[in-house]
Structure 1
């Protein structure tokens, strides 16, 4: 009677277990199934009344398409006390021949070291794998990385994609110690992370704010992340595990920095435009006043003026007219660049002929204190370019040099590039005042002027840079204060076809 009660107790205990339980006798036949096992195998509870049954009447255990149950039972009969199923094991029930993935373990009941019964505990993991697949599929399309921190072992376990993304070796079982993880955090962000962990570990409240921080990647660079976590508490309310996610926000930081830089440039551009407009009224009025003034003097007192005075006034009118023309040309070119209507006509151009033409034009307005001439090699070079626009660039360099050179020379010319044999190097060098190092980075920016007291709009070099880029070249400056400057352009012999 007592034995029947105990058997009934064990039967009830087995029935309430969430995992399936199958009990075998020593020969390997099934002698009992709990309620969950009956459900998973699609058999009626009455089957327990006709047990024992051979296992192949009820199910098979398949791994790599082979039934491994008989092999497992043989190992247990030979002395193994427990046996865990290998990964990717499936159970096939024999009613509908349905297969489903399981995890499970075999255990033994022995009396005086003699095997009496074999217990098989298993769990259908179809739902788990489905949820895991859905989660992984969702995460694969993001840069969100789950993690948890085991407080007792002081150990982080991270998503393996986290290590791959950062380009760092994964620890054993994808783990990192607290010290290893903290060393990856940017020194400026460690205190913020520490404060968040302290709140979570206290167990008094959760830290529900997101924490931005930087992690060092495998290549030594820093990447921005945003972390959020909570804790799992034991029965006494004390945390024993922290769980959370990290989201890479570097892309958003890059966009934010780009927008900040764009805003700064826009604000600077607005400031420079206002300065440009204020400067233009002065720049245009000055040559106009000179032209009108000297014209009036010549017109009203022509006979009273000496031949030398009349020639000098005509020269001043010509100089100021040329300056005014350059101002208007710069403004027109800027307008074309802004509206993207600047036109280019490409033909094969002789650089020697181009430079000699420029030399003749400069000779007309040369001064005795400055030697302005072309330094040309014996060999002529032909390149495919817009000769008019290239001439504009070289003349702009020379005109700029004239403003800042009181004596010495302004030499210009060309040579095959010593580094790139498929390119030509065109230069204009002077013995002028030179450009401070801190100004050289900005000298090609629109509206920028090294000396605000010198004539000009601050557009010439910016326009030159735009023209050179359209010619598929590069523009450079080398300068030393008190010694002079050298502006140069590198152009290809043949232009690449544009998309």
Structure 2
């Protein structure tokens, strides 16, 4: 009897050092012994071991999908199953306070000299694990950070399942990828940097604590920037057997970086063009002023000596240069209003036919030899809510721009219903001028940009047109072929409301 007590004490001490709960049952399903961890989890006093065996119902229940599964498990074990692993989402209910908690565990059978065959039930309360996992997953779900680990012996990556979903690629078995599969996803230009980082980590001499930017091939065929960081877990001899790390999508930051770079380039280009504009303005303003002053002086000093034809020609030149000077000043004033955001719009309902006929009459007052300037209007009128003054300014700017680059042929303007949208109308100005090179067509609406620096003008007209059209909630575009002419199209909604 004394030997048996010593053996029991030894078994208790052995069981009590285990971090998991251990319950020993006989083949009838009665509890024979609990280790210290099981006593704590089940809120049972240690003295209960002295009155064993006890029915399991007095100590605990196992619940899965709200059903007690313990009797089913014991029956399978009695029928010869040696090991039984609990299914996921199994809960243990202690029978003192009836508290329930999630567990993982296994049943196994073993031979005991005194009792014969017994059942060992090992379980672990995973409440803390699930809580930590939930907190981590909740945090990760709000980010584009994806944890991973690389098993060196199996040459296999295991990745967060969100990683595959985010990239739009099929997940391997158990969310794994081989090294070859992973490398093939990396952009060729970034593979060497990744290989260097892995070589250092796999060497085990030092950790590679730098982040490595790289591009991955998405399921839709595009590339996305990521940033990876990892370390290794070493065995007792110091050699790494597993790499663990995270990768973070940095595409958003790359997009912002590229946007800032483009913005800086545009700002630098804008500054350069603005300086060129300011340097050019003295010439642009002085030229018409010199003509106005010069021809005015000639008329005043030699009026009686001039023929009627000469006087008429000089007055015409004064008028042309005065008009050009007014346009220059108007462009500068409009630019000032745009930059200070003080440009104002007055909306009303207008007939497009009437607006364009008015423009046609104004253009007829200043004919150009060899060029027909005419409105091409449909039979049916269209009414539009717009700012008539600003819309006229856009069309006149486009016509005046066409005048500069058209030596013969025609400049036609008009409107038509938008074939793709019944709520919009398209106004056009087309010419048979010299056209615009393809490489310049994206830049002609930028401030201070001039296709031909030798032509008169500030390089502001088309930029101002674009700004006005955008304020009217429309779009402006151009199609052109060098030597064939150009066609500017303004698409506007029929009805708009502009907030002050």
TM-score (norm 1): 0.94
Provide Cα deviations, 1:111-154, integer angstroms capped at 9, x if missing partner: 89x96111111112122122222222222222211111111112
2:382 & 2:8 partners in 1: Cα distance? Answer: 106
Partner of 1:453 in structure 2? 454
Assess if the C-alpha contact under 8 Å between 1:447 and 1:459 holds in 2: yes
> Which residue in the other structure is 1:285 paired with?
286
Q: In 1, distance between residues paired with 2:298 and 2:353?
A: 43
Q: Deviations over 1:302-330 (max 9, x none)?
A: 22222222222211111111100010111
CA shift for structure 1 position 207: 0.8
Structure 2 unaligned residues grouped into runs of 5+ = none
Equivalent residue number for residue 262 of structure 1: 263
Deviation, structure 1 residue 9: 3.8
Give the alignment of 1:319-468 within 5 angstroms: 319-468=320-469
Per-residue CA deviations over 1:235-280 (Å, capped at 9, x if unaligned) read 1211111111111212211111111111111111111111111111
Alpha-carbon contact 2:334-2:343 (below 8 Å) kept: yes
- Residue 40 of structure 1: how far off its partner (Å): 2.1
- Give the aligned length: 498
Q: Which residue of 2 aligns with 1:30?
A: 31
Aligned to 1:105: 106
CA contact (8 A) 1:108 1:115 kept: no
Question: After superposition, what is the alpha-carbon deviation per residue over 1:439-481, rounded to whole angstroms, capped at 9, x for unaligned?
Answer: 1111111111011011100011111111122222221212111
The alpha-carbon deviation at position 438 of structure 1 amounts to: 0.8
- Tell me the distance in 2 between the aligned counterparts of 1:83 and 1:228: 39
Whether 2:210 is the aligned partner of 1:209: answer yes
Normalised TM-score (structure 2): 0.94
Distance 1:199 1:147 in 2: 18
1:417 Cα offset (Å): 2.9
Deviations 1:286-316 (A, max 9, x none): 1111111111222222222222222222111
Counterpart in the other structure of 1:70: 71
What residue number does 1:178 align with? 179
Q: Hey, what does 2:80 align to over in structure 1?
A: 79
Structure 1: gaps (5+ residues)? none
Higher mean displacement: 243-252 or 368-377 = 368-377
Measured against aligned partners, the alpha-carbon deviations of 1:328-363 in whole angstroms (never above 9, x if no partner) come to 111111111112221222222222222222222222
Say if 1:50 and 1:422 are closer, same or farther in 2 by CA, change over 3 A: closer
**CA displacement at 1:38 relative to structure 2:** 2.2
* Cα RMSD (Å): 2.1
Quote the residue 1:271 is aligned against: 272
Structure 2 equivalent of residue 240 of structure 1: 241
Identify the residue that residue 469 of structure 1 maps to in structure 2. 470
Once the 2 structures are TM-superposed, how far is the Cα of residue 372 of structure 1 from its aligned partner? Answer: 1.9
Cα distance in 2 between the residues matched to 1:423 and 1:65: 63
- C-alpha separation between the residues in 2 aligned to 1:207 and 1:436? 52
Structure 1 residues 101 and 417 mapped into 2: Cα distance closer, same or farther (>3 Å)? closer
Which of 297-306 and 459-468 deviates more?
297-306
